[in-house]
Amino acid sequence: MNNDSTEDIKQIKNSRKIVYIAIAAVVIIGLGIAALTGVFGDLTEPEEAAENGEIVATVNGEEITGAEFNQVLEQQKMQYEMQQGVDLDSEEMADMLSDLKEHVFEQHFAVPILLEQKAKEMDIDVSEEEIEERYQEYATQFGGEEALKEQMATVDITRDELDQDIIRELTIHSYIEGYLEEYLDDNPEEQIDQEDIEVGKEELENQYQQVLSQYDQVSGMLEEEDPDMPREQLEMQLSQLEEQYGYILEAESFEEIKEDLEKEMIEDRVTRERQQKETEILMEHIDELLKESEIETNF
């Protein structure tokens, strides 16, 4: 395999990884993991207790209780009310609250359940090594395993419960990956290849000048006694520019870095277009699953 092919494969994998991460917010909402990050917590109101044992929806026979639904709904209501400054429990907001309930049900329950059901049909397995690797990633996010365990204790989640959420997440990821690969194999005309992307000389020159201008601007602000932005933030921006565009900043002319800049811009554009295409493919698949499934709601 030549270097160009290897780089192309890397770009495809990176593109898909970003797609999975983006979609994870919609289709992989494990209540245990979400609680760990403070997304939910104990949000069920006392007056809702009577509904908690009731079944408020089913997705191909899989039941969703009032407790599960209310927990997510109350958090979404809280976030929306804080952002919009409205009371969703008021009479004039009844239609909006109804729309929010539909959104919560579909995005936080129906979609992940349907994807998990499809994954189970394919007998996708998750190894102990994969579970442990993901667990350690969460530990790193929380500043170490002890900090993670403390948070788990705070929200009353056991390691077994967290592992079940991790299995669910990784299973859905595997299904998404397999579906996209199969779809693009069957529909090669929808694949985004580097050969299809062109970047004109004017675009390259504009990007070159933009990088130089941004670096000069940040550098100039750092030289001021009282810059508009915190010095730490400016120093971080300058460091990021130097790390990403060092080859441009050190070059004596545009022609010297033209080819490298063109390659970088093409790779970035390929990644973005692949993300967009694969997200469209997956969203179409999700729409199909929603239409063909037996879904009942009572909320």
Pair of tokens at residue 201: 């000389």
Beta bridge partners of 64: 57
Q: How far apart are CA 186 and CA 182, in angstroms?
A: 6
Q: How far apart are CA 231 and CA 225, in angstroms?
A: 10
> Smallest Cα–Cα separation from 72: which of 80, 83, 84?
80
> pLDDT digit string (tens) for 25-36?
444 434 344 445
CB 58 within 8 A of CB 296: yes
Q: How far apart are CA 175 and CA 179, in angstroms?
A: 6
Q: At residue 188, what are phi and psi to the nearest 5 degrees?
A: -60, -25
Q: How far apart are CA 275 and CA 206, in angstroms?
A: 24
Pair of tokens at residue 87: 């009371």
Q: How far apart are CA 215 and CA 235, in angstroms?
A: 11
Beta bridge partners of 57: 64, 297
> Smallest Cα–Cα separation from 101: which of 72, 122, 129?
72
Bridge-based pairing state of the strands 62-65 and 295-297: unpaired
The predicted model scores a pTM of 0.73
Instruction: List the strands of the sheet with 295-297, edge to edge.
Output: 62-65, 55-59, 295-297
* pLDDT for the residue numbered 52: 57
CB 37 within 8 A of CB 165: no
Q: Given 3-state DSSP classes, what are the helix, strand and coil percentages for the chain, each rounded to the nearest 5? A: 75, 5, 20
CB 171 within 8 A of CB 110: no
* pLDDT for the residue numbered 36: 54
Beta bridge partners of 297: 57
Residue 297, classed as helix, strand or coil, is: strand
Q: How far apart are CA 134 and CA 153, in angstroms?
A: 19
Pair of tokens at residue 30: 């494990």
CB 283 within 8 A of CB 26: no
Residue count of the chain, please give it.
299
Q: How far apart are CA 59 and CA 114, in angstroms?
A: 7
Q: Alpha carbon of 284 to those of 211, 228, 232, 253, 289: distances in Å?
A: 38, 46, 44, 46, 9
Ranges of residues in the chain with a pLDDT under 50 are 1-35, 37-50
* pLDDT for the residue numbered 2: 46
Q: At residue 59, what are phi and psi to the nearest 5 degrees?
A: -125, 105
